[in-house]
Chains A and B, each alone.
Chain A
Amino acid sequence: MSAEATDIDLRPPLHMRLLKVIESMWRQPSGKAGLTLLSIHLFVAIFAGLLATHDFAVQDASAIFAKPNAEHWLGTDNLGRDVFSRTLLGGRPALITTFFGTMLALFLGGFLGILLGFVGGTIDDVAMRVVDAFLAIPWLLLLLLIIAIFGTATIVMILTLGILYAVAIIRIIRAGTLDVVAQDYITAARTRGEKNVTIVIRELLPNVLDVVLVEGAMRWSWMLLTFSALSFLGFGVTPPTPDWGLMIASSRNFMSVSIWPVIAPIVALSTLIVGLNLSADALAKALGVDRARIGG
């Protein structure tokens, strides 16, 4: 095969492929439900500032634990703050942190996973031992330890979650890479005398990309769970910034007085995580990636 022939990219342009993937996600019931929930949440998170009816931090001492009414659509919390406005804004910290955290985890974990799967040998063996040991440390312990020392600034959370999740991603991407490395076209490329860099970029990457994407979608929903758990434990966002996990934690002691400050963030958080999960599931099916087979 001549060099020119391999340079022709027969696949349709990127945005067309993207459209196709979304289309085939939409054809599944889980994709329809997931994408709808996800779109609503993204819309609300972006335009929350315009949709909110009150300032999230303003305390109204005359209306503590108000039931839903014309003024406060979902009532008020123990400090007289508007639950509706706080719930609208409460998804932002989680979405922003976990989005960038997932991106970091994917780049880091994807890079190392492909490298280890491609190189193999002793380096791979030793690295995987360390990865396994890392995964044997109770994750929450490690997270809390890091957060206790470095604080809970958004950038710290992104780095911490990103790096910790990258370790888990290495395993999956490495397994996916090993699958591809065993294929005949990699052997063919090697026989042609292609450079390693060329093989990784032109042969390996396009074929591992699907696994990486599905892994990313799945991890995003898990990272969201982790972030909200941290925030619930009091190791997340600093008050009075509204955040669902924190709202649930601080309002649940008053559940016998008023359930609205707890129910609103619970519904918001649950629908977001379910939406993300269903979308990830539909994405896996649309791309034909079987997570169970790779061992996620």
Chain B
Amino acid sequence: MLKLLLKRLALAVVTIAIVVTIVFLAVEALPGDACTSFLGRAAKGNRLIMCREEFGLDQPAMPRFIEWITAALHGDLGESMARRDTVAELVGIRLRNTLLLGLSASAIGVPLAIMLGVIAGLWRDRPLDIGLSTFAIIIMTIPEFVMGTVLILIFSIWLKWLPGIVITRPTAPLSDFLGDIILPVITLAGIMTAHIMRMVRTSVIDVMNSEYIKMAQLKGVPYWKMVRRHVLPNALVPTINLIALTIAWMLGGVVVIEVVFNYPGIGRLIVDAIGDRDLPLVQGIALVLASIYVGLNLAADILTLMLNPKLRTMKGH
């Protein structure tokens, strides 16, 4: 068990290291460097030399890479070129806002998805299941920005119930965002619910078809007791990984939703940073997002291990 955990942990670290290297290499492989792309047409003469000196780009790539990694390990992600602020600070405040959005959506989406998924799975192919499944597929296929735009149209333009776009400052206290996040959270939670619900439904159906459930039925275990004791534990454990994957995927999908609602989160920071060609900021965001992604998957792996007696008692492997 411990060996297995250590192995997973080592793999996670290796994955993050590879991600960082890929992003660094991608930036290095680009024509020009951070300074030429940031300064654009003004990239000549003294300004270019000064910029390169300031950001240490006059050094060869290898020492710079090592220096960046060493600094990053100490929590220093360097300085943004366009914003005259440290990357860590910029990313921190935006990440806070995105987490508020993501966690609120997960808090609503995950329980709702599990509930609906179990219902759809238990009443498979009945009108309720067909209705829920069709609805889920429609939400999954329609682009996020279309769903967001339609919600704005209905709730803020026609009904005038909710604000359509967020105008709160990025650094405002979290409580200021509470009114703003309703529509983005509905959009995000809707997509999450649809994805997770489908997985839970499949999992429940698989378990319902298994031999031990047939056995329980033959033994005359009352239906709801059987569902509670046998179906739910067995159906939900495999979905933990998928839920983590969906939440991690949302970190990418949230970009579009943040732009739709003008929400000052990390997604909009990416779009802005890339628009400004602010490469130190881009690198910092990539590192942070990749770490979250890998961390979530690791957490899901560990949780699955702890909940699965077969794996828990297994030695090594």
**Are A and B part of the same complex?**
yes
On A, residues with C-beta under 8 Å from B are 129-130, 132-134, 136-142, 144-146, 148-149, 221, 225, 228-229, 232-233, 245, 248-249, 252, 255-256, 259, 262, 266, 269-270, 273-274, 277, 292
A133 touches B18 (CB 8 A): yes
Knowing A248-B149, A266-B150 are in contact, say whether A144-B141 is a contact too (CB < 8 A): no
A141 touches B30 (CB 8 A): no
**Tally of chain B residues near chain A (CB < 8 A):** 44
Interface hub of B145, B255, B294 (most chain A Cβ within 10 A): B145
Knowing A228-B143, A259-B153, A270-B146 are in contact, say whether A145-B137 is a contact too (CB < 8 A): no
Q: How far is the CA of A208 from the CA of B14 in the complex (A)?
A: 31
B252 touches A274 (CB 8 A): no
A233 touches B277 (CB 8 A): no
| Shortest Cβ distance from residue B144 to the other chain A in the assembled complex, whole angstroms | 7
With a CB–CB cut-off of 8 A, which chain A residues contact B31? 149
Interface secondary structure of B, over-half rule: helix
Q: How far is the CA of A245 from the CA of B259 in the complex (A)?
A: 13
B23 touches A137 (CB 8 A): yes
B290 touches A148 (CB 8 A): no
Q: Which of A229, A256, A259, A277 contacts B137 (CB 8 A)?
A: A277
- Which among B59-67, B177-185, B215-223, B268-276 touches the partner chain? B268-276
A141 touches B285 (CB 8 A): yes
On B, residues with C-beta under 8 Å from A are 14-16, 18-19, 22-23, 26-27, 30-31, 37, 137-138, 141-146, 149-150, 152-153, 157, 202, 251-252, 255-256, 259, 267, 270-271, 274-275, 277, 282, 285-286, 289-290, 293-294
Q: Which 9 A-B pairs have the closest CB atoms?
A: A133-B18, A144-B274, A138-B252, A138-B289, A277-B141, A232-B145, A148-B274, A133-B15, A149-B30
Which residue in chain B gives the minimum CB-CB distance to A134?
B22
B286 touches A266 (CB 8 A): no
Q: How far is the CA of A255 from the CA of B146 in the complex (A)?
A: 13
Other CB < 8 Å A-B pairs besides A149-B31, A273-B143, 6 of them?
A: A129-B14, A136-B16, A232-B256, A233-B271, A255-B152, A266-B146
Q: How far is the CA of A248 from the CA of B145 in the complex (A)?
A: 9
Interface hub of A133, A146, A273 (most chain B Cβ within 10 A): A133
Q: How far is the CA of A182 from the CA of B90 in the complex (A)?
A: 51
B145 touches A133 (CB 8 A): no
With a CB–CB cut-off of 8 A, which chain B residues contact A149? 30-31, 37
B22 touches A233 (CB 8 A): no
Q: How far is the CA of A273 from the CA of B202 in the complex (A)?
A: 23
With a CB–CB cut-off of 8 A, which chain A residues contact B285? 141
With a CB–CB cut-off of 8 A, which chain B residues contact A137? 19, 22-23, 286, 289-290
| Shortest Cβ distance from residue A279 to the other chain B in the assembled complex, whole angstroms | 12
A229 touches B144 (CB 8 A): yes
With a CB–CB cut-off of 8 A, which chain A residues contact B18? 129-130, 133
With a CB–CB cut-off of 8 A, which chain A residues contact B137? 277
Which residue in chain B gives the minimum CB-CB distance to A248?
B149
Q: How far is the CA of A274 from the CA of B143 in the complex (A)?
A: 10
A129 touches B15 (CB 8 A): yes
With a CB–CB cut-off of 8 A, which chain B residues contact A266? 146, 149-150
A292 touches B202 (CB 8 A): yes
Q: How far is the CA of A134 from the CA of B202 in the complex (A)?
A: 28
Knowing A138-B252, A225-B143, A229-B143 are in contact, say whether A145-B26 is a contact too (CB < 8 A): yes
Which residue in chain A gives the minimum CB-CB distance to B285?
A141
With a CB–CB cut-off of 8 A, which chain A residues contact B255? 138, 140, 233
Q: Which of B16, B142, B143, B270 contacts A141 (CB 8 A)?
A: B270
B26 touches A256 (CB 8 A): no
With a CB–CB cut-off of 8 A, which chain B residues contact A221? 141
Knowing A144-B271, A148-B275, A149-B30 are in contact, say whether A252-B152 is a contact too (CB < 8 A): yes
Q: Which of B15, B150, B270 contacts A144 (CB 8 A)?
A: B270
| Shortest Cβ distance from residue B306 to the other chain A in the assembled complex, whole angstroms | 23
Q: How far is the CA of A50 from the CA of B86 in the complex (A)?
A: 55
A-B contact pairs, 23 of them (CB 8 A): A134-B22, A136-B293, A137-B23, A137-B286, A138-B251, A138-B286, A138-B289, A140-B255, A141-B282, A141-B285, A144-B274, A228-B143, A229-B144, A233-B256, A233-B259, A249-B145, A262-B149, A262-B153, A266-B150, A270-B142, A273-B142, A274-B142, A277-B137
